[in-house]
Structure formats: structure tokens, C-alpha cells
Amino acid sequence: MAKGWTARDIGDLHGKTAVITGASSGLGLHCSRALAAAGAHVIMACRNLDKGAEARQTIQAELPDAELELQALDLADLGSVATCARTLTERGEGIDILLNNAGVMAVPLSRTADGFEMQIGTNHLGHFALTGQLLPRLRAGARVVTVSSQAHRLTPGIDLDDLNWERRRYRPWQAYGDSKLANLLFHNELHRRLTQAGRNCTAVAAHPGYAATHLQFVAAEQKQSRVEAMFMHVGNTLLAQSGQMGALPSLYAATAPAVAGGDFIGPDGIQQMRGYPTTVQSRRMAQDPERARQLWQRSLALTGVDFVIDN
């Protein structure tokens, strides 16, 4: 692994297609710019198409030849997920990189269009359903990158019998940790199933460390909490690395030749908060094959999406 790897080290991606969720801002925007700069055809999957259009214009002002297109996708609505997947499938175009990046963090209790708790529904179940429906379009050698977080260490464990927080007192940070732990369990089970099926696709996970993006302010905005917004501003100013640096683990996971299936990529600095991409370790619970299998089965039941993994 090259020390100090940056987006400038991405190889030629002409002829490759990347789908990036949450591409209108934050890490998704930085990843879209970097992959387009390397020549990829980037499909920016966004919930808000107006914001997506502004993001695309921002990139094209810098990179006039960038191949960028918008695709509507609301991960908090399985109908929108199915429409997005159907649209991309009917075009017949293969996918080389599926970057499951979008997410919400520590928001007040709310429900998705399908009745799921918003964080597990958006961060995990929406991406689970999207990945399952796009698997047939993945080309040989494709990579599925699932973005998790160090917050996967914040939860004592996912309650599979109350995944949607219907019987417990809601704790937004624990629910966020649940969703990020679910990302890693999904990633590990997907890697196991791809390997078992002999499918020539690679499942990789990544986390950005502590990166300064708008994600930290969404919950404060929804609560209309100036105190929380100020706290997040101080943290972003004093502790966080830039969004460009935070995007590097995802970009490395998506493109670097040294990456292997099942890898987890994060920053190489102290406590994995900052730095350049390297292979890191998740907590033991995220690597539990039985817990991953149970979450997979529960996710199948909740989304109604099956995974056709065989070639």
C-alpha cells in the first residue's frame, strides 16, 4: 500500500461507470469529482435533484469534459430505490463501481416511506435493496464499496427483534451506530457470498474518519438546536479533516489495485480520525458471521429484495 495515497493516484477510469449515492454534497461530491477527473462516467444518485444539478455544475465548471449524469434516488423510499435500479438496469449499461455513500446521522426519531426507523432504513436497508437490485448489472471486476463509520463502535449491538425502535426508548446516536454496524455486517456477508459463488466482484468497506461535511449539522437543523450546531462547528473546526481527505478511503476502496475483497479502509492517523487511506480493523462484532447472516435474512424480509449473486 502506497503511503500518502491521494486522488491523484487513481488510475485511468475511461470506459468505467460509477454509481455514487448521496453525490450532491459532502463525501459523495468529492468522490464524484475525483472519479470523473480520472475519466469515469459518474452517475450521481441524489435525493434532491436540484442540489444534484448544482453539484454537477460545480464539477463541470472545473472539469468541462466530465461525464456526469443525475439519477433520482431516495434511499428512504424502497419504491424510489426500485425505480432507480430499474432505470439503470433497463439501459443495459454495466456498472464498475457502486459506492454506497449516502447517509443520515443522529437525526430525531422519524420513519421512512416504508415505516423503517430513518437511520437503519436509509443507511442500511436502502443500500441493501439498491445493491441487490443492481448486482446483475455489475461487470466482471466491479467493486461494491459500503461506507461505514467509527460510530459502529457506539452501539452495544443491533437488536434484530426491534430494528426499527418500536419497543425501546429511541437513542439517536445508538441508532446511528446500529446503522453503521449494519453497513459492516452487510459488507462482510456480501463478501462471503460473492466469494462462495465465485462471482468476480469485490466487496470493500470504508470509513472517512472525522471529516468536516454538512452531515454533522443535519440533526441540529432538524431539531433547530443552535447549541448542537455550535458543538458540531467546533468539532469540525478543531478536530476534523477536510471533506477531500475524508473521501480518500472510499476512493481508495473503489479504485486501488492493492484492495482485496473484505478489506476495510480508513485513515491511517491516530484513532483513525485523520490521515491517508490504509487497511484498518473493525470491532469484533462487525466480523461475526452469524450476526451478519441473521441481519441479511432480516433485511431480505423487510425489503423484499433477493440477491442473485451467481454469475
CA atoms of 252 and 98, how far apart (whole Å): 13
Q: What is the pLDDT of residue 311?
A: 60
Q: Phi/psi at 205 (nearest 5 deg)?
A: -115, 160
CA atoms of 52 and 196, how far apart (whole Å): 37
pLDDT digits (tens, 9 = 90+) for 31-56: 999 999 999 999 999 999 999 999 99
Helix (H, G, I), strand (E, B), or coil: what is residue 161? Answer: helix
Q: In the numeric block, which cell numbers belong to residue 172? A: 439517536
CA atoms of 145 and 232, how far apart (whole Å): 27
* Choice among 176, 210, 252, 276 that is catalytic: 176
Cα torsion 143, 144, 147, 148: sign:
negative
Say if pTM beats, i.e. exceeds, 0.85: yes
Strand partners, 278: 266
* Mean pLDDT calculated for residue range 209-230: 52
E strands, 85-195, are 95-100, 138-147
CA atoms of 13 and 37, how far apart (whole Å): 9
Whether pLDDT at 140 is above 90: yes
Whether pLDDT at 209 is above 70: yes
Q: Which residue has the cell 441524489?
A: 46
Q: Which residue has the cell 425489503?
A: 303
Whether pLDDT at 94 is above 90: yes
Cα torsion 36, 41, 44, 45: sign:
negative
CA distances from 115 to 69, 122, 181 (A): 30, 11, 20
CA atoms of 55 and 240, how far apart (whole Å): 23
- Is 176 labeled as catalytic in the residue annotation? yes
Structural domains in the chain, CATH included, are 7-210+248-297 (3.40.50.720)
CA angle 68, 72, 78 (to 5 degrees): 140
Query: Residue 3 — pLDDT band, cuts 50, 70, 90?
Result: confident
